[in-house]
Structure 1
Amino acid sequence: MKQLLFNLYPTPAKNFSFYSLWLSFLVSNLGDWMYRLALPIIILEKTGSAYHAATAFGISFIPWVLFSLIGGVLADNYSKRKILIVGNILAAIFSYFLLFTLNVVNINFTFLYLAIFLLASVDPLVHPSFQSIIPEIINRDDYVKANAVIQTIDNTLTIMGPLVGGSIVMLLGGLNALWFEIGSFIVSACILYGLPKIKESHKKQITLANIKNDILAGAKYSFHQKVIFSGSLMFFVTNFALNMFEANYIFYMTKDLGYPLVDATIALSLGGVGALLAGPVSTLIVERYHAGLLLSISTTLAGLSTLLLLVNTNYIYIGIVLGFISFFGTINVITYFTLRQRTVPREQLGRVVAITRMISYASIPIGSWFGGLLLNQGVSMIWIILIAGLLRTGAGLGAGISPLGHEK
């Protein structure tokens, strides 16, 4: 992984500070995959209740609503390096608390849900610092390469995480696998210690009044900066459309199309390859074309690619089409992250990251729920794919005539 990233993205990857950042991201996310796979298995084994497993999953989304904006305020007013280090240490502590609550005969569900809530609260509090520290440790010309590295790691883990994590969970058991998660956060905190101590220009006391004022200031900037706001709305629609069919697609392939799970997994893996290819390609094209034009075109092509799923149901064909969808979607993300880092003043970047992420992510559970609702009402997956493809294509065309499309 290290040598591959050095070859594809030579400038930022050889920056020691950025190397520390992406390596910590890799380590902590490997541990996170252990958690995602082990937790539902442990709960089902301990309780035999799908209700508690589903409740635990739902609780993990609540902190994104409650704490994302606070995370943005922290990123804009305090040492991002310290926030990232402390965040990983707290994650290790909360993971141990979770392990403790699970390692008993009779689970106390109050403690269990509290532990899950606390652990899920770390990510929304530190993510704005993670995104907004990038402009502080690398040159402006390397933003595209840096975002491409992060997305390549993320996409690689999406493909390999279930395989590696699932193997460890099966070999060691769910409870033992959680020790890997605890260790990953500790190692990640140690790696982040290598980040430079950037001199802070200002600090504020943590008071409700200051948090409120900073959130309002960040929201005002985000909503009045038409280019950035248009982009977040575009992602709101695309995330809704993508999750309409993607959240239910494995069910469609195995139940409706009758493919064995291994064939469905091959199709999804081929889709992940497209996302991996988008990383190095984005470093070649993002600098050459206007960001607004590239965002509009890539979104439109992702929507049109979705419609190609209506043409054929061969699992290899499906995998190739999913690859095109993820390819254009990844270029989309890298382009927008780079645009946001170059456009937003550093002193407000953390809050803008938090606000735009909240807007764009808000549609993910809604899209999944709506797609599932349509299926439960007897609507064919063909219609769901058609609606999703048209929505995403429309989002791309709409972005082209919005302020985002006129961004130079």
Structure 2
Amino acid sequence: MNPPTLFKNYSFIFVWLATAFSTVGFSMYTITVSWHLSNNLGLAAAVGIVLTTAAIPRVVVMILGGVLADKYQKSKVMFVTHVFQSLTIAELCFMFNEEALTFPFLLLFSFLMGLFDAFYWPASSSIIPTIVRNEDLQQANSIVQGSHTLFYVLGPIIGGVIISSFSVGASFLASAIMVILSAIFVFPHFIKDTIPTPTTEKTSMIRELREGFGYVKRSPVHYWGVIIIVIIHFFVLGPLGNSFPILVTSLKGTALDLSYMEAALGIGTFVAAILMVVISKRKVGTKLIFLFLFITAILLTIFSRLESILLLTLLATGIGFAAIVAYLPIITLIQQKTEQKKLGRVMSIVTLSSNGVEPLAFAFISAMMTAGFTIHTLLTMLGVGCLLFGLIAYSRAKEFRKIESITSTLMVDNK
């Protein structure tokens, strides 16, 4: 039996609500940890260390999370990880109230949150194709991505209001409540997604990991899709957000200027996601992906030479818009061209190609600035690098760029 149309599909609606609540909860959690470190413990410089501590298990273990997402019901994996994450955040609230929330404990809990993320994200990114129709997949991905962007902006605002009106502990508690609500919405009985059929053949975890990487490497769609995602995140989205505080400081801006710039990037990505919802039923070929990849590179290069905070803020909107228009069709294309029994592993590799390379971009910025390069020079290098690698990908990805209509091609392939 085929799934119902998107807005009558209760499984999708519940997954969307789960995404909304978890995004608000985790963005509140992040700003609350940062505020506690900076203002209560006087360790503003340690914020990056705590965030990196969460990133390490997220990157290292995520491929294993993909294997589990293929072996078990994806909604069950999401439900269990969210329950553990809500309990972890609730423990932070308890320790804050007991005045015991020190830096070592924050490192420990940050590591645990990243570890749970490593199991949650492969299941989360691969569940949509199992609960919606093929022709609704682009629209579903765009709605989820747009909501994620919007709620990620709202979360810190809500967290800031709670911290100002009540306390850090209250913000942790509110964050835990948001995450447990997300777990409730993604409860397997509500989602009713596919339960993988157990196989009698016993295979090692290493073999299954190799199968996933081999699957991506052999398919031009998967291989070049991952390459383009790496280009977007390493050259643009990763370093861009990291550059905002440096640019605002160098131009003698204020914290408000920084918030406007970050919001502008979020608005650009949100508008792009809405656009992809609108055009989801139209023919969208892979040449559009390359076009907006090149536009992103050009805008970043222009961005790198500006000395006005207002112009930088406006251009950040354009960069966010162009990057997401290039990114979203790739996700849909990869999901549709992947066998369901390998979705978890493939989407863990895709997620790793985005989340995993961003810390490398941060490290690159830090190392090069230590070596004496200015942020403007580095952003120019990254913009030119994005354009150069994009052109190389375009010239070599002949089969990938021949796809003239993602939706119609995929519907034919999946019949």
Length-normalised TM-score, structure 1 = 0.89
Structure 1 residues 186-240: Cα deviation after superposition (integer angstroms, max 9, x where no partner): 2112212363324534126999x53222212111111222221222122222212
**Cα distance between partner residues in 2 of 1:116 and 1:106:** 16
Contact 2:304–2:377 under 8 Å retained in 1: no
Inter-CA distance 108–289: structure 2 relative to 1 (3 Å threshold): same
- Deviation of 1:273 (Å): 2.1
Asked if residue 261 in structure 1 is aligned to residue 255 in structure 2, the reply is: yes
Counterpart selection for 2:401 from 402, 405, 408: 405
Asked if residue 345 in structure 1 is aligned to residue 339 in structure 2, the reply is: yes
The corresponding residue for 1:159 is 153
**Cα distance between partner residues in 2 of 1:401 and 1:114:** 46
Contact 1:270–1:322 under 8 Å retained in 2: yes
Counterpart selection for 1:43 from 30, 37, 41: 37
Query: What amino acid is aligned across from residue 123 of structure 2 in structure 1?
Result: S
Inter-CA distance 396–130: structure 2 relative to 1 (3 Å threshold): same
Matches within 5 A, 1:179-328: 179-193=173-187, 195-203=190-198, 210-242=204-236, 243-253=238-248, 255-285=249-279, 287-310=281-304, 312-328=306-322
**Cα distance between partner residues in 1 of 2:378 and 2:114:** 31
Inter-CA distance 398–286: structure 2 relative to 1 (3 Å threshold): farther
User: Helix, strand or coil for the counterpart of 1:248?
Assistant: helix
Structure 1 residues 280-310: Cα deviation after superposition (integer angstroms, max 9, x where no partner): 2213445544542122111111111112225
- Deviation of 1:311 (Å): 5.5
Structure 2 runs not aligned, ≥5 long: 405-415
Inter-CA distance 201–275: structure 2 relative to 1 (3 Å threshold): closer
Name whichever of 294-303 and 168-177 sits farther off: 168-177
Name whichever of 61-70 and 396-405 sits farther off: 396-405
**Cα distance between partner residues in 2 of 1:219 and 1:141:** 27
Structure 1 runs not aligned, ≥5 long: 1-9
User: Helix, strand or coil for the counterpart of 1:259?
Assistant: coil
**Cα distance between partner residues in 2 of 1:105 and 1:158:** 28
Contact 1:21–1:195 under 8 Å retained in 2: no
Counterpart selection for 1:331 from 302, 321, 325: 325
The corresponding residue for 2:353 is 359
Matches within 5 A, 1:108-127: 111-127=105-121
**Cα distance between partner residues in 2 of 1:69 and 1:310:** 35
Matches within 5 A, 1:171-182: 171-182=165-176
**Cα distance between partner residues in 1 of 2:65 and 2:90:** 23
Instruction: Give the number of equivalent residue pairs.
Output: 397
Inter-CA distance 292–402: structure 2 relative to 1 (3 Å threshold): farther
The corresponding residue for 2:49 is 55
Inter-CA distance 38–124: structure 2 relative to 1 (3 Å threshold): same
Name whichever of 94-103 and 20-29 sits farther off: 94-103
The corresponding residue for 2:18 is 24
**Cα distance between partner residues in 2 of 1:63 and 1:33:** 19
**Cα distance between partner residues in 2 of 1:201 and 1:26:** 26
Structure 1 residues 329-367: Cα deviation after superposition (integer angstroms, max 9, x where no partner): 111221111101111111101100111222333321121
Query: What amino acid is aligned across from residue 230 of structure 2 in structure 1?
Result: F
Inter-CA distance 204–185: structure 2 relative to 1 (3 Å threshold): farther
- Tell me the C-alpha RMSD between the 2 structures: 2.5
User: Helix, strand or coil for the counterpart of 1:240?
Assistant: helix
What percent identity do the matched residue pairs reach? Answer: 22
Contact 1:23–1:191 under 8 Å retained in 2: yes
Contact 2:89–2:175 under 8 Å retained in 1: yes
Inter-CA distance 62–380: structure 2 relative to 1 (3 Å threshold): closer
Contact 2:142–2:276 under 8 Å retained in 1: yes
Inter-CA distance 192–252: structure 2 relative to 1 (3 Å threshold): same
Contact 2:15–2:191 under 8 Å retained in 1: no
- Deviation of 1:35 (Å): 0.7
Name whichever of 165-174 and 281-290 sits farther off: 281-290
Contact 1:230–1:402 under 8 Å retained in 2: no
**Cα distance between partner residues in 2 of 1:48 and 1:265:** 22
Length-normalised TM-score, structure 2 = 0.87
Contact 2:138–2:277 under 8 Å retained in 1: yes
**Cα distance between partner residues in 2 of 1:113 and 1:72:** 25
